[in-house]
Structure 1
């Protein structure tokens, strides 16, 4: 009766300890797991003729075997021994028995050798879930714990492989556990194999789909590149037309001003001679036209982006071997070799086309920036010319 009281007191102590100090993030190694280990240990011990003292040691070790989790995750077994030792000494428990409890607790450490039937029973009780139908659900709880406390993350395929390796590497140490769990353990191993096979097939299928995503919809990719090239060509043509408009308009304005001012016998030339102040708006208009036409000419001026090529750098991401500004700087043999490489390598082909689009866009950006400057100068110049002309007439 006294022994049962000590075991019950130990259970109450562990329950209170876990409730007060155990992290709620421990979804596997919690009071439920400990309670189940105690239950399994009691059931497995029935197959052996254990004395009351031995059964007491076994159940005490079962209650305390995971108490170290309240303070640490890795190496919790040592902490569990400390908690158990402190509690049992306060209860006046014999030192020799405390030592046996500690040995049982340390036996639950992964890979630890056992030297006594009590240790074997506790180890089997601790891993009994591998021989239950609930194995897969509880394994997912352990996976969550490892991600939180050990920063070990697994893909579904990696976890399935890890679990299969674990199932194949462990075995029950007592005949009672083997008889009780071996049948379900075999089913779990086969189910895990099937699950791993399914995941492997899904991964290969996904990898194939990922490869085909770039390789198969050629029409979509070609349409994208064609549309992009067409847009660049259209925008470049629009920019050139706008530049030609500004060049023509400003050239006409400058020609008219220079012609009339240069002809002193004309009526307008005589008028400007008698009223020199009118030269201010004319000068502004002339300067405006000159600045505007220069910006427009620079915008319309052909620009070729090119690099100094070397044969060993033809596959560089910055080099576009499809553009004449680049390939005309290398010998024909190197150009032919580079083109054959591009035709053999899909990524190299797409890289060259992407590079071409990038530098076409860079040229367009400069064109439109210069056009904006040209139109802005012309607009401001016209406004200043009109204002100065009105002021000159008013005077």
Structure 2
């Protein structure tokens, strides 16, 4: 009765410690895990008909074996021994038994050798979840802990392989644990192996998709190129329309000015002859119209990007065999050979299209820059013409 009373006090003490001091981030090594370890340890000890005195040491060690997580994650067993020793001394527990409790707790440390049955029982109880159907859910909780406290991150395939290796490497030490958990452990190994294979299959499929060559066109890539070409063609047509508008407008203005100034018999021609100052706004308008129309004509002028090609440079990234400005510089045989290479080479196929888009954009950039100059000159010319005409009239 006295022994059971001490174990009950230990359980209450550990529960209070975990509630007050254990981090909520410990989603695996918490009170629930400790409670299950104590329960499994008791069941395994009963299977081995463990004497009451050893049962007491075992259960005390089971209750305190993870209390060290309150202060440390690595080497928490040492801290757990400190918590257990402090509690047991407070309750005047014999020192030799405290030493046994401490030794039993330290047996749960990974890689530690065991020397007594109670140590084997506690170790088996501590890992008993691997012989239960809930092992995979519990493993995910442990994975979270390791990411938080050990900064160890695993991909799904890495974690699956790690779990499979662990399940296959662990052996229960006691006969009771082997009888109790071996059947489910084997099922878990088979299930984990199936999970690992499935994840490997999915990973390889994703890698294969990532390695798929660009010569196997995807709808998204085709749509991108089609949309880009359409946009360039539309922008080029808009630029040409704007240039034609400026050419027509300025040509009309210059024709009218030249016609009236050149006809001295006309009323306007006579008026300009009698008032030479009016020639200033007319001259400004004529000069700016001429500059504007020249810029517009240059903008609308066809421009061909071409290179002086050599057969041994057909695979250059700057060469675009899909554009007549390039391929008309080489012999027919070299052009045919180059086109066959493009159709066979996934990189060359799209590289030529990308090069074509690049130089189309370069031509468009020049077109719109010249158009901007043309419109700006025309606008400035109109403003200066009006201002100078008003000044001339006002004099």
Q: 1:282 to 1:215 in 2, by over 3 A?
A: same
Tell me what 1:56 maps to: 56
Q: 1:219 to 1:203 in 2, by over 3 A?
A: closer
Q: Per-residue deviation at 1:175? A: 0.8
Deviations 1:67-101 (CA, angstroms, capped at 9, x unpaired): 12122223322222232233333333333333332
Question: Under a length normalisation based on structure 1, what TM-score does the superposition of the two structures give?
Answer: 0.84
Q: 1:223 to 1:84 in 2, by over 3 A?
A: closer
CA distance, structure 2, for counterparts of residue 69 and residue 245 of structure 1: 81
CA distance, structure 2, for counterparts of residue 352 and residue 150 of structure 1: 50
Tell me what 1:249 maps to: 249
Verify the 8 A CA contact 2:295 2:373 in the aligned structure 1: yes
Q: 1:139 to 1:319 in 2, by over 3 A?
A: farther
Q: Per-residue deviation at 1:171? A: 0.9
Tell me what 1:121 maps to: 121
Q: Per-residue deviation at 1:60? A: 1.7
Tell me what 2:9 maps to: 9
Q: Secondary structure at the match of 2:47?
A: coil
Q: Per-residue deviation at 1:6? A: 2.4
Q: Secondary structure at the match of 1:28?
A: coil
Tell me what 1:190 maps to: 190
What CA RMSD, in Å, does the superposition of the two structures yield over aligned residues? 3.5
Q: 1:383 to 1:171 in 2, by over 3 A?
A: same
Q: 1:92 to 1:319 in 2, by over 3 A?
A: farther
Q: Secondary structure at the match of 2:166?
A: helix
Q: 1:255 to 1:153 in 2, by over 3 A?
A: same
Q: Secondary structure at the match of 2:72?
A: coil
Q: 1:9 to 1:232 in 2, by over 3 A?
A: same
Tell me what 1:92 maps to: 92
Verify the 8 A CA contact 2:278 2:392 in the aligned structure 1: yes
Verify the 8 A CA contact 1:314 1:321 in the aligned structure 2: no
Q: 1:19 to 1:248 in 2, by over 3 A?
A: same
Q: 1:137 to 1:224 in 2, by over 3 A?
A: closer
Deviations 1:251-300 (CA, angstroms, capped at 9, x unpaired): 45345545655777775454334323312321331232133224324423
CA distance, structure 2, for counterparts of residue 305 and residue 101 of structure 1: 86
CA distance, structure 1, for counterparts of residue 69 and residue 334 of structure 2: 67
Q: 1:329 to 1:62 in 2, by over 3 A?
A: farther
Q: Per-residue deviation at 1:166? A: 1.1
Tell me what 2:279 maps to: 279
Matches within 5 A, 1:225-244: 225-244=225-244
Q: Secondary structure at the match of 1:377?
A: helix
Verify the 8 A CA contact 1:315 1:348 in the aligned structure 2: no
For structure 1, the residue ranges without an aligned partner over 5 or more in a row are none
Verify the 8 A CA contact 2:215 2:347 in the aligned structure 1: no
Deviations 1:326-353 (CA, angstroms, capped at 9, x unpaired): 6789999998886555433313322331
Question: Under a length normalisation based on structure 2, what TM-score does the superposition of the two structures give?
Answer: 0.84
Q: Which moved more, 1:301-310 or 1:111-120?
A: 301-310
Tell me what 2:76 maps to: 76
Tell me what 2:30 maps to: 30
CA distance, structure 1, for counterparts of residue 151 and residue 309 of structure 2: 48
Tell me what 2:46 maps to: 46
CA distance, structure 2, for counterparts of residue 279 and residue 4 of structure 1: 120
Tell me what 1:372 maps to: 372
Matches within 5 A, 1:222-371: 222=222, 224-254=224-254, 256-257=256-257, 261=261, 268-303=268-303, 314=315, 316=317, 320=320, 322-323=322-323, 341-371=341-371
Q: Which moved more, 1:209-218 or 1:224-233?
A: 209-218
CA distance, structure 2, for counterparts of residue 206 and residue 336 of structure 1: 36
Verify the 8 A CA contact 2:57 2:100 in the aligned structure 1: yes
CA distance, structure 1, for counterparts of residue 12 and residue 283 of structure 2: 102
Does residue 145 of the first structure (1) align with residue 161 of the second (2)?
no
Verify the 8 A CA contact 2:314 2:338 in the aligned structure 1: no
CA distance, structure 1, for counterparts of residue 260 and residue 57 of structure 2: 119
Q: 1:88 to 1:294 in 2, by over 3 A?
A: farther
CA distance, structure 1, for counterparts of residue 309 and residue 68 of structure 2: 66
Q: Secondary structure at the match of 1:46?
A: helix
Q: Secondary structure at the match of 1:122?
A: helix
Q: Which moved more, 1:320-329 or 1:279-288?
A: 320-329
Q: 1:301 to 1:177 in 2, by over 3 A?
A: same
Q: Per-residue deviation at 1:38? A: 0.8
Q: Per-residue deviation at 1:184? A: 1.0
CA distance, structure 2, for counterparts of residue 345 and residue 321 of structure 1: 13
